[in-house]
Chain A
Amino acid sequence: MKLSQTLQAMAVGASLLVGTMAPVRAAEDTVKVGVLHSLSGTMAISETSLRDVLLFAFDEINAKGGVLGKKIEPVVVDGASNWPLFAEKAKQLLEVDKVAVVFGCWTSVSRKSVLPVFEKNNGLLFYPVQYEGEELSKNIFYTAEAVNQQAIPAVDYLLADGRKKFYLIGTDYVYPQTTNLVLLEYLLSKGVPIENIGGGLRKDEAGKVISAGKYTPFGHTDYQQIVAEIKQFAATGDACVINTINGDSNVPFFKEFAASGLTAADCPVVSMSLSEDELRSLPTKDLVGHLGCWAYFMSIDSKENAAFKKNFFDWLKTAKVQGIERTNRVTCSPMVLSYDGVYLWKAAVEKAGSFDVDKVREVLESGKITFDGPNGLNTVEKNHHTKKNTYIGETKADGQFKIVEEFKQVYPEPFLKGTFVKE
């Protein structure tokens, strides 16, 4: 007990020291900005890329004179894929470092962990990764894709493609479960009969559906039974799979899928959590023709995107960040939405003429803050989400997406559960 108290005291002391020492160097001409991502642990593979792109954005802005004449001074902390630690680090950023804004979080659980900290300290968080919705905090701005900017357009595309049966599969946690419940309602409202929705329904004692689809634990490797079930389900030739499996488990899933002779033509899989960054470690040949749906693809053919890619890759070559990966890099939607977030915040601060959270929020909520980014035009709406384009892409053998459909300027709707119910 004694020891742990001492340690705690030491930790507080150390963080105070760091907190008080930094401003000596920083003086008045900088503004502190927090970066809160997992740089170690299971999420590090994905989140390290977001840190990189954020630091790149800061350097880019600083080279052009900063924000309101002040240079951005990043404070990077490591959430270590540990959710309580995320809350602690958020507290440190807001209370000790007194940052003007934080860019960060990937998993929904990390966002839910820091949310009370941001509300208590009236902080400002920009969240860049597609998520399940059903949340609106006055302290968070979601540059991420809401369900109606990712999963719903994907389903629309498959419906228009003549697909009549939908198999839902995901990893066992909040994002897949909520998304699939919304999709279940949406499909029913589109006239897809319940027996055409695969994976199964789970109901509570009252008979209320609490989950739709098939779920596997994180790190699951044996997909034989599930793929056999999908193969039977797809025997009629008009089925497709909506995949919200996260991370590593996609490899055995797609390997099993390819090995059992199912092809993208018989039964396309649309994946919600596989971007170019994840495809780097997947055997992409097994995924050719399957679909992805995001607000950005690296293959978008625009002036802004070409410039963004070139500048980012050039920056990587010389960036002074320890252990940064400099070669074989790609860009992907969560990265670009992080980047957009920085510029949306900058635009709002400049319009407000102040770093004050309340003033910045008021400007952001006006619906007039826009940024023309690598993914096209982003507009912050009153509901703290951004209106932006949605793209559907087909995986190519080189791990890139070929864009097959574009939905222009989709309005974000975070609250979808219960809106499609057809009695």
Chain B
Amino acid sequence: MMRPYVQRSLCLVAAMAMTFASLVQADESESSARQSAARAILASESEQAMIVQDMAANPSPILGPIFEAWQRSQVYIYEAPDGARIPFMLMPDGSGSKAVRIDNGEPLVGPNGAPVVVDEATMKPVETFAKLRRAMRSTMDLLALADPAPATRQSAILKLGMKQSPEALPILNARLAREQDKAVKNGILDAIAIINLASPDPKMQIDALNQLKKSNSVPSRELVAKMAADEKLSPKVRAAAASTLKAIDNHLFWVDFFGTMFRGVSLGSVLLVVALGLAITFGLMGVINMAHGEIMVVGGYATYLVQCIFGTGVALAPFGISVNIPGFGFDSNSGIYQSYFLFALPVAFFSAAAVGVLLERGVIQFLYRRPLESLLATWGVSLVMQQLFRLIFGPANAPVYSPAWLLGSFSVGDVIMNYNRVFVIIFAVAIVVGTSLLLAKTPVGLLIRAVMQDRTTAACMGVRTRKVNTLTFAFGSGLAGLAGAFLSQIGNIGPSTGQTYIVDSFMVVVVGGVGNLIGTVISALGIGTLDQILQTGLRNPVIGKVLVLVGIILFLQWKPSGLFATKGRGLEN
């Protein structure tokens, strides 16, 4: 078990010693690296790993893309008519992919001088296996130190530091001299300090500990904790380690605190987005709409369809009839494909609103002022809709991809904020502001408020209350559709997804006080934050959720009409 590790680390040391030199004179080593890569690809499985391991001693940057293509199964062997076997890889091109010879980087040409066209579907790639990939990784880790992307550089530097081998110091120092990015520079200083923790010199150790204390380095925490508890170290070093540990733990406390707050607000925003539609239909209109969750799912499926139409289309089989919806066929990495979500938002809004109109005209208009009947009828509608989804889209969930600009995260002082979570917060603010402006500042809003406050008087004043009802219900449903579009980015969209959220949304609206938008906002954020605090505090999501529910029940005992009780055509009339 030990031997391969020793061998590998020896190899790594040799490689590290040479990396810096080889990175300077890249051109000369490039062609020899290409030659050995080609040799490795053609070699028998038993020799491949050995050749690749040897290459780590001379890691030319060209090996990065070659190894990557190899691991992605994009390396093939061309059998020339004269019997020669030429390894080549597929490089992405403007109009597809082109074949490039690995041994010299030239395009692959056939005997007649024309470029060889390969059909990826029928060619068999040169496979890799675990041992070979590990051999490749030591080379790729070293190459990553000079990667153009700062984040890649930083993680490679950290990895190198965590190995705690002093041989890496010259490489890190050399990189430090050339590094421009401030964050990466700090990362290098930390990595050097982490390596120096293992130094036998107490002074070096204390300096290292001070550096780590200054930067609140989270990755080094375990090493520092070990030092603080190590009886064999001098008291001075142990004291320094203890103080660094305290600083890191203190830092972690605040990271957890702000992280939890952020996650609470983001969960609250999800709840808010989900509940806002209901705040209109249940809160303002007093309609208990059990199909609210399914209307949300309409928005989710609309997003899925828009995504498919931007891609290669989709084949559906509703009621056994096969329907092929063709797509534009945009490349899935292109900006235009990534922007599908922006187009999906209005589609989700209007398709859900349309379903809302159907529901209001078909069922609910007969049931105003009869909350229990509306509950039963809409529950039936919700079951019918679930079965319709199942028939149209199948029983499995629809796979919705997040666009690249919603993936990823940034961090502020180690507090990680995901783009999609930041987006939901902005999204929630936008629709709350939009909704309240619509209600407060527009003529339509005035009509809605008039009808909701006193239908008869409004009708006497010439307001066409039936139309206003339909419009209000459609607007609430449209908001649910927006929620569905957003949910597709963080969770499932399937026939029964709506069920998961219906309880949450009623909970938020009831706690907030029926008929009050501000109440909905406060209750959503409150419930979200409480949930996240309990989850962190108890380190158990199950008990956390249970306690939130218990809390809500107790709260409603104390304030039965929610945070802000308002008089309106709510349930009590």
Q: A259 touching B402 by the CB < 8 A rule? A: yes
Known contacts A44-B395, A200-B539, A261-B409: does B263 contact A224 (CB below 8 Å)?
yes
B192 to chain A, nearest CB (A): 16
* Contact A248:B397 (CB < 8 A) given known A161-B134, A222-B267, A259-B406: yes
For residue B421, CB closer than 8 A to chain A, the reply is yes
Question: Cβ of A282 and Cβ of B130 under 8 Å apart?
Answer: no
Are A255 and B545 within 8 A (Cβ)?
no
| Residue from B155, B315, B421 in contact with A266 in the complex, judged by beta carbons closer than 8 Å | B155
A44, A219, A256, A260 — which one has the most chain B CB atoms within 10 A of its CB?
A260
Does A283 contact B218, Cβ atoms closer than 8 Å? no
Judge whether A226 and B409 touch: CB under 8 Å.
no
Digitize B411-447: 1 where CB-to-A-CB distance is under 8 Å, 0 elsewhere.
0000010111100000000000000000000000000
B461 on the A face (CB < 8 A): no
CB distance A251 to B491 under 8 Å? yes
Interface residue? A23 (CB, 8 A): no
A-contact 0/1 string along B109-148, CB 8 Å cutoff: 0000000000000000000111001100000000000000
B535 at the binding interface (Cβ < 8 Å) = yes
Residues on A with beta carbons closer than 8 Å to the beta carbon of B398: 281
Give Cα distance in the complex from A317 to B433, angstroms: 53
Contact of B541 among A44, A157, A216, A325 (CB under 8 A): A216
Q: Which residues of B contact A259 (CB under 8 A)?
A: 402, 406-409, 418-421, 490
**Chain A residue with Cβ nearest B320:** A323
Q: Is B11 an interface residue (CB 8 A)?
A: no
Complex CA–CA separation, A289 to B406 (angstroms): 20
- Asked if residues A404 and B491 are in contact (CB atoms below 8 Å), the reply is no
Q: How far is the CB of B498 from chain A (nearest CB, A)?
A: 13
- Chain B nearest CB: distance from A395 CB in Å? 13
A404→B129 contact, CB < 8 A? yes
Is the C-beta of A6 less than 8 angstroms from some C-beta in chain B?
A: no
Interchain Cβ contacts within 8 Å, total number:
126
Interface residues of A in 160-208 (CB under 8 A from B): 160-162, 172, 195, 200
Q: Is residue A138 within 8 Å, beta carbon to beta carbon, of the partner chain?
A: no
A225 touches B416 (CB 8 A): no
Give the docked Cα–Cα distance between A402 and B536 (Å): 37
Q: Are B267 and A284 in contact (CB under 8 A)?
A: no
Residues of A within 8 A of B317 (CB): 327
Is B453 engaged at the interface, CB distance under 8 Å to the other chain?
no
A161 to chain B minimum Cβ distance, whole angstroms, is: 7
- B259 close to chain A: CB less than 8 A: yes
Contact A225:B541 (CB < 8 A) given known A251-B491, A255-B489: yes
Say yes or no for A309: interface residue by CB 8 A criterion.
no
Complex contact B491–A255 (CB within 8 A): yes
Contacts of B267 in A (CB 8 A): 222, 224
Q: In the complex where A248-B492, A266-B155 touch, is A283 in contact with B400 (Cβ < 8 A)?
A: yes
Q: B residues within 8 A CB of A325?
A: 394
Q: Determine the chain A residues whose CB is within 8 A of the CB of B399 once the complex forms.
A: 280-284
Contact mask B301-322 → A, CB, 8 Å, 1/0?
0000000000000010100000
B550 at the interface (CB under 8 A from A): no
Residues of B within 8 A of A58 (CB): none
What does the 1/0 interface line of B458-489 toward A look like (CB < 8 Å)? 00000000000000000000000000000001
Q: Which single residue of chain A is at the shortest CB-CB distance from B533?
A: A225
Complex interface: chain B residues within 8 A of A232 (CB): 218, 252, 255
CB proximity to B under 8 Å, residues A211-234: 214-217, 219-222, 224-226, 228, 231-232
Chain B residue nearest to A399 in the complex (CB)? B399
Residue A18 is within 8 A (CB to CB) of chain B in the complex: no
A237 on the interface (CB 8 Å rule)? Answer: yes
Q: Out of A228, A251, A286, A392, which one reaches B492, CB within 8 Å?
A: A251
In angstroms, Cα B572 to Cα A293, docked, is 57
Cβ of A285 under 8 Å from chain B: yes
Q: How far is the CB of A42 from chain B (nearest CB, A)?
A: 9
B494 on interface, CB distance cutoff 8 Å: yes
| B416 pairs with A260, CB closer than 8 A | yes
What CA separation (Å) do A220 and B401 show in the bound complex?
19
Q: Say yes or no: A285 contacts B401, CB within 8 Å.
A: yes
For the complex, what is the distance from the CA of A56 to the CA of B219, rounded to whole Å? 53
Q: How far is the CA of A200 from the CA of B542 in the complex (A)?
A: 14
A interface footprint on B57-88 (CB within 8 Å = 1, 0 otherwise): 00000000000000001000000000000000
Establish whether residues B401 and A286, one from each chain, have CB atoms under 8 Å apart when the complex forms.
yes
CB distance from B427 to the nearest CB of A (A): 15
Contact of B397 among A161, A237, A281, A285 (CB under 8 A): A281
Query: Is B559 part of the contact surface with A, judged by Cβ < 8 Å?
Result: no
Interface string of B198-234 (1 = CB under 8 A from A): 0000000000000000000011001000000000000
* Interface residues in B368-422 (C-beta closer than 8 Å to A): 394-402, 406-409, 416, 418-421
| Residue B159 interfacial (CB < 8 Å) | yes
Q: Are B219 and A236 in contact (CB under 8 A)?
A: yes
Query: Are the CB atoms of B542 and A216 closer together than 8 Å?
Result: yes
A45 at interface, CB cutoff 8 A: yes
Of the candidates B219, B255, B416, B492, which one forms a contact with A252 in the assembled complex, judged by CB atoms under 8 Å apart? B492
- Does A224 contact B541, Cβ atoms closer than 8 Å? no
Q: Please tell me which one of the listed residues A160, A215, A237, A392 contacts residue B155 in the complex, with CB atoms under 8 A apart.
A: A237
Q: Determine the residue in chain A with the shortest Cβ distance to B129.
A: A404
Residue A109 lies at the interface, judged by CB distance under 8 Å to chain B:
no
Residues of A within 8 A of B394 (CB): 325
- Check if A219 sits within 8 Å of B494, measured CB to CB: no
Q: Which residues of A contact B46 (CB under 8 A)?
A: none
Tell me if B276 counts as interface (CB < 8 A to partner A): no
Contact of B490 among A160, A161, A217, A255 (CB under 8 A): A255
C-alpha gap A225/B255 in the complex (Å) = 12
Flag whether A410 is at the interface (Cβ < 8 A): no
B residues near A284, Cβ cutoff 8 Å = 399
- Cβ-defined contact, A237 with B395, below 8 A: no
Residues of A within 8 Å of B128, CB to CB, are 404
Judged by a CB distance under 8 angstroms, whether B500 is at the interface is: yes
Residue B532 is within 8 A (CB to CB) of chain A in the complex: yes
Pick the contact of A402: B73, B266, B402, B421 (CB < 8 A): B73
CB within 8 Å for A283 and B402 given contacts A215-B542, A220-B541, A236-B162: yes
Determine whether the beta carbon of B490 is less than 8 Å from that of A256: yes
Chain B residues contacting A95 (CB-CB under 8 Å) are: none
Chain A residues near B532: list those with CB within 8 A. 224-225
Seed contacts A160-B134, A222-B267; 13 additional CB < 8 Å A-B pairs: A215-B541, A217-B542, A221-B491, A224-B532, A237-B162, A251-B397, A251-B491, A252-B490, A252-B491, A255-B490, A256-B490, A286-B401, A404-B129
What 5 pairs between A and B have smallest CB-CB spacing? A281-B396, A281-B397, A224-B263, A235-B219, A259-B418
Binding site for B on A (CB under 8 A): 44-45, 157, 160-162, 172, 195, 200, 214-217, 219-222, 224-226, 228, 231-232, 235-238, 248, 251-252, 255-256, 258-261, 266, 280-286, 325, 327, 392, 402, 404-405
Give 19 A-B contacts (CB < 8 Å), ordered by A residue.
Answer: A216-B541, A219-B500, A220-B541, A221-B490, A222-B267, A222-B531, A225-B535, A228-B263, A228-B416, A232-B255, A236-B162, A237-B159, A237-B219, A256-B418, A259-B409, A259-B490, A283-B399, A284-B399, A402-B73
